[in-house]
Amino acid sequence: METPILRIDHLTVRYGNTCEYCRNGGALNKNTCPHCKTVWACNDVNVQLYEGEILGIVGESGSGKSTLMKSLYFDFDITEGQGYLQAYKNGQEDIFAQSLQQKKYIRNHIMGMVYQNPMLGLRMDYSSAGNIAEKLIAAGQRNFGAMNDRVAELLDAVEILQSRKKEPPKNFSGGMQQRVQISKALANNPAVLLLDEVTTGLDLSVQVKVLELIREIRQKFNVSMMLVSHDLAVIRMLADRTIVMLDGKIIEQGLTDQILDDPQQPYTQQLVHSLL
Amino acid sequence: MIDTKHYNFAFLDEGSKREIRRSILKAVAIPGYQVPFGSRELPIGRGWGTGGIQITLSIIGKEDVLKVIDQGSDESVNAVNIKKMVEECTGVEITTDSEKATIIQSRHRIPEIPMRNDQILVLQVPTPEPLRIVEPKESVTKQMHAEAEYSGMWLSLFEDLTLYDKISISSEYPTMVENRYIMNPSPIPRYDNRKLNDSETLYLFGAGREKKIYAIPPHTKVESLFFDDVPFETENFEGKSCRLCGATGVFLDEIVDEATGEKVYECNDTGFCKGRRDRQHGNTNFKN
Ligand SMILES: Nc1ncnc2c1ncn2[C@@H]1O[C@H](COP(=O)(O)OP(=O)(O)OP(=O)(O)O)[C@@H](O)[C@H]1O
Ligand SMILES: [Mg+2]
Ligand SMILES: [Zn+2]
């Protein structure tokens, strides 16, 4: 069996102090303990990501999709679980147990993140070039000319005209802002690209272009992706495999066609049919 | 009038001085790190050099000789007021001669004549936090220093080069201290930044309003931030000289001659300029 480039074991992210009841596996109300109100945003999540694949993540609002993505980008501390990256010490060390400096290294060299909300991923008042360069600077680059050249390459890759590199993202349309985020996320040739609802809220025609861009990028940058979306059409178009999340848990996973054409779990069946 | 009958030597009570000295010691021990201190009330408004004055008052002794300069000038209203205050509450000798002074308190300049290891330069700082231009929140900038997370600062330099093809910061040009802390050198011109590096003297920085003290002990590595391919540049006075004393290779003020409308230059460091002129005249007299 092929070794995954990323493996997440038993990831749990909780908000709250827990109580006897929920610690012992008592039934939750959705993701929340009825007694102590602790939110189990991710609850014993296990994921494998393989080289070159796009892994789709679907699930209703609040099911824990963004929590999973942000955990992997170290946006906050997880409660329990382990993660292993082939690109980091050959997958021998738990990435969640590393020092802050090591986590920064992983974040800047191995991972790329595109947030659903561009405000989280971009400095709206800085130039687009600066936004992309930030990632290069964070990885320790200090050569202005070299960074400038790399920014030019990345702008080309996401089809933004060089003539607009001095403009701040706040002047850009939603689709262009996502392109800037994507080029920033790709700046250091990450092994894993995390895409959280990249096309949500964009016009349909713009969505299609961004999705095509993602497909091209997978080829060009040889990067594996985790792609969160509400939209099953997006998942069908891009994802090789798909996991279905509900109330902080993975309830079903498999090849995307299998999941969408022949779902096994009642919840997935309902999800697929309601959207057909 | 501050008379010694009603006030302690150097105005502050001994407890306050000791506390400030403790903060200074900590600052010296961690070059470039901003140490919080309990800023005292003084008979001078905050923002008029009270950080520097408190440092001066807590380190000054009866034998010290004090010089105070403001933007290079010994005679500005602010410099004169500070001198008057310290003189009244300590009785120490006041001078305009950099070489004679044991403590120099300054704002916006480091004297032209290299300072010695038996001297201390106290610099007044309005906004001590170099990262303030990239992050408004104190709790966040503190965290950034703790983690040496300086991408934001570098990004702001990158941004300048992208938008204006040059780094536009003219004073308070950020420095890296011992490869660890980014430090605001206070509003000195870029020209003076290099004087901080591997210097003979102790530099103490005081911010009264923001209640911070920091320090550069002698022989500390202080580098102005630069990119590998874009070197740090200072103000350039090549081919220009002081019209009063003829000095070159110093920081000059540009003045428009009222009579001719021409641009002329004068030493910014007035004490240095006067010293040169006195010596020149002395020489002339001697020849006669
Ligand atoms: N800081 C927090 N404190 C308490 N609960 C939180 C916090 N952050 C997230 N949650 C909860 O965690 C759960 C999972 O949230 P998450 O953002 O991961 O959902 P999602 O699947 O991305 O939803 P959406 O599709 O709406 O983006 C939700 O119930 C949310 O309310
Ligand atoms: Mg989400
Ligand atoms: Zn509980």
Local confidence band at B71 (pLDDT 50, 70, 90 cut-offs): confident
> Within a domain: residue B73?
yes
Q: Do A138 and B151 touch (CB under 8 A)?
A: yes
Q: In terms of pLDDT, which residue wins out, B277 or B74? A: B277
Task: For residues B31 and B182, give the distance between their C-alpha atoms in angstroms, rounded to a whole number.
Answer: 10
> Within a domain: residue B40?
yes
> Within a domain: residue B142?
no
Residue-level pLDDT at B2? 64
Same domain, B257 and B185: no
Same domain, B29 and B115: yes
Same domain, B197 and B264: no
> Among candidates A77, A65, A80, A5, which has minimal Cα distance to A31?
A65
Structural domains of chain A, count? 1
Task: For residues A27 and A22, give the distance between their C-alpha atoms in angstroms, rounded to a whole number.
Answer: 7
> Within a domain: residue B187?
yes
- Ligand with an atom nearest the CA of residue A34: 3
Profile chain A (276 residues) by mean pLDDT over runs of 10 residues: 93 97 94 97 98 95 96 97 98 97 96 95 97 97 97 94 97 94 96 94 86 91 93 93 97 96 92 76
Please give the DSSP secondary-structure letter assigned to residue B39. Answer: P
Q: Whose CA is nearest to atom 26 of ligand 1?
A: A61
> Within a domain: residue B87?
yes
For B146, phi and psi rounded to 5 degrees?
Answer: -60, -40
- In the predicted model, what is the mean pLDDT of residues B174-193? 96
Which residue is closest to A130 within chain B, CA to CA?
B159
Domain that holds residue B257: 236-281
Residue-level pLDDT at B5? 67
Local confidence band at B259 (pLDDT 50, 70, 90 cut-offs): confident
Same domain, B265 and B200: no
**Within chain B, what is the greatest distance between any pair of CA atoms?**
66
Distance from CA of B212 to the nearest CA of A (A): 27
Share of chain B above pLDDT 70, in %: 95
pLDDT tops 50 at residue B160:
yes
> Within a domain: residue A146?
yes
Same domain, B208 and B69: yes
> Within a domain: residue A137?
yes
Same domain, B197 and B240: no
Q: Which of A28, A37, A67, A68 has most ligand 1 atoms within 8 Å of its beta carbon, as the pocket-test mutant?
A: A67
Same domain, B33 and B68: yes
Question: Rounded mean pLDDT of chain B?
Answer: 91
pLDDT tops 70 at residue B3:
no
The two three-digit tokens of residue B27, written as one number:
């600052």
> Within a domain: residue A29?
no
> Within a domain: residue A219?
no
> Within a domain: residue B7?
no
Residue-level pLDDT at B183? 98
User: H/E element holding B135?
Assistant: none
Residue-level pLDDT at A149? 97
Catalytic (active site) residue B267: yes
Q: Which atom of ligand 1 is nearest to the CA of A68?
A: 18
* β-bridge mates for residue A39, sequence order: A15, A32
pLDDT tops 90 at residue B37:
yes
Residue-level pLDDT at B121? 97
> Within a domain: residue B39?
yes
- In the predicted model, what is the mean pLDDT of residues B226-246? 92
Task: For residues B285 and A29, give the distance between their C-alpha atoms in angstroms, rounded to a whole number.
Answer: 98
> Within a domain: residue B287?
no
Same domain, B267 and B188: no
Structural domains of chain B, count? 2
From the number of C-beta atoms within 10 Å of its C-beta (0-12, 13-18, 19+), residue A133 rates as: buried
Residue-level pLDDT at B257? 86
The two three-digit tokens of residue A185, written as one number:
């996320």
> Within a domain: residue A144?
yes
ipTM: 0.89
CATH of the domain at B69: 3.40.50.11310
Local confidence band at B258 (pLDDT 50, 70, 90 cut-offs): confident
Same domain, B201 and B116: yes
Chains A, B: CB pairs < 8 Å:
44
Residue bearing tokens 């300029």: B273
Classify B154 as helix, strand or coil.
helix
Same domain, B119 and B70: yes
Same domain, B66 and B194: yes
Alpha carbon distances (Å) from A140 to A109, A188, A275, B223? 10, 11, 46, 17
Local confidence band at B105 (pLDDT 50, 70, 90 cut-offs): very high
Residue-level pLDDT at B44? 78
- Ligand with an atom nearest the CA of residue A245: 1
> Within a domain: residue A178?
yes
Q: Which atom of ligand 1 is nearest to the CA of A228?
A: 22
User: H/E element holding A6?
Assistant: strand A6-15
Domain that holds residue A168: 124-186
Task: For residues B136 and A105, give the distance between their C-alpha atoms in angstroms, rounded to a whole number.
Answer: 26
Task: For residues B203 and B137, give the distance between their C-alpha atoms in angstroms, rounded to a whole number.
Answer: 27
